[in-house]
């Protein structure tokens, strides 16, 4: 069974730009969660989608948004990028979301200059 | 505020030594998971513990969930260089919807 895939793996953007990251979950998984990982804060929950509906959102500004498509693939968007948005963005797929087990993709390393 | 506190933050040991990593909280969790993450990769699930007092063994790794479901520990026996990585605990709270709360992790280095 194929794992979680994330594209692109690496991204360099300039402050003020916007970015879209993509995640394809494991086949049959309907829940996709997004996390931001930084050395200082660790992994922080961004949001979770299940069957195209956002069920939970973390404590991030409105510049961070996401969506899920009918095939369970998900995208997250960050508008008006700031230097502090530089991080590893991880996507996790699950049958039904936490507390069920989550399987992570390799992440997208975003660098904002 | 970090819901889950992990200790120690860093650990450097020699091959063959034993170690224990702790994950503590003042909150109650419906389940707790342990992950290992290697550089440039996403976390990989090691185990899920659900019942207070539960002990699970995975080869040389022993995981324990506290009786009150507020804390957990990971014990590694006879560590090997392949155990090197970032160990993360993550908990699902009853009132946190579908989000996992992560600790900041314990970075383990095992040298030959």
Q: Phi-psi region for residue A28, left (φ > 0), alpha (ψ -120 to 50) or beta?
A: left
Instruction: Note the pLDDT tens digit of each residue in B1-32.
Output: 678 999 999 999 999 999 999 999 998 998 89
With tokens 């390393």, the residue in question is: A109
Instruction: Note the pLDDT tens digit of each residue in A1-12.
Output: 679 999 999 999
Exposure b/e, B65-99, CB count within 10 A at least 16 = b? bbeebbbbbbbbeebeeebbbbbbbbbbbeebebb
Which residues 31-60 of B have a C-beta within 8 angstroms of A?
31, 33, 35, 40-45, 48, 50
pLDDT at B82: 95
pLDDT at A47: 93
Question: In this complex, which of A4, A56, A106 lies closest to B99 when CB atoms are compared?
Answer: A56
pLDDT at B100: 87
Inter-chain touch B99–A98, beta carbons under 8 Å: yes
The yes-or-no verdict on residue B84 having pLDDT over 70 is yes
Q: What percent of chain B has pLDDT over 70?
A: 97
Instruction: Note the pLDDT tens digit of each residue in A84-94.
Output: 999 999 999 99
Instruction: Note the pLDDT tens digit of each residue in A64-81.
Output: 999 999 999 999 999 999
Question: In this complex, which of B41, B45, B88 lies closest to A43 when CB atoms are compared?
Answer: B88
pLDDT at A97: 76
Interface residues on A facing B, Cβ-Cβ cutoff 8 A: 4, 31, 33, 35, 41-45, 48, 50, 55-56, 58, 90, 92, 97-99, 101-107
Which residues, at least 6 apart from B16, have a Cβ–Cβ distance to it below 8 Å?
A: B78, B79
Q: Determine phi and psi for A46, rounding to 5 degrees.
A: -95, -60
From chain A, the residues in CB contact with B31 under 8 A are 99
């Amino acid at each position: 069974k194929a794992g979680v895939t994330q594209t692109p793996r690496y991204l360099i953007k300039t402050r003020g730009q916007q970015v879209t990251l993509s995640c394809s979950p494991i086949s049959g998984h309907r829940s996709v969660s997004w996390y931001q990982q930084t050395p200082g804060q660790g992994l922080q929950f961004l949001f979770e989608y299940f069957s195209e509906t956002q069920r939970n959102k973390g404590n991030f500004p409105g510049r961070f948004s996401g969506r899920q498509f009918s095939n369970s693939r998900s995208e997250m968007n960050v508008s008006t990028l700031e230097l502090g948005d530089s991080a590893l963005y991880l996507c996790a797929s699950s049958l039904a979301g936490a507390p069920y087990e989550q399987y992570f993709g390799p992440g997208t390393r975003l660098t904002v200059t | 505020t970090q819901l889950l506190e992990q200790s120690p933050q860093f650990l450097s040991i020699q091959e063959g030594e034993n170690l224990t990593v702790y994950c503590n909280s003042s909150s109650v969790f419906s389940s707790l998971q342990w992950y290992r993450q290697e550089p440039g990769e996403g976390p990989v699930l090691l185990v899920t513990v659900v019942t207070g007092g539960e002990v699970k063994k995975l080869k040389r790794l022993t995981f324990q969930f506290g009786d009150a479901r507020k804390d957990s520990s990971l014990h590694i026996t006879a560590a090997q260089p392949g155990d090197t990585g970032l160990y993360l605990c993550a908990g699902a709270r009853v009132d946190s919807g579908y989000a996992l709360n992560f600790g900041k992790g314990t970075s383990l280095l095992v040298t030959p």
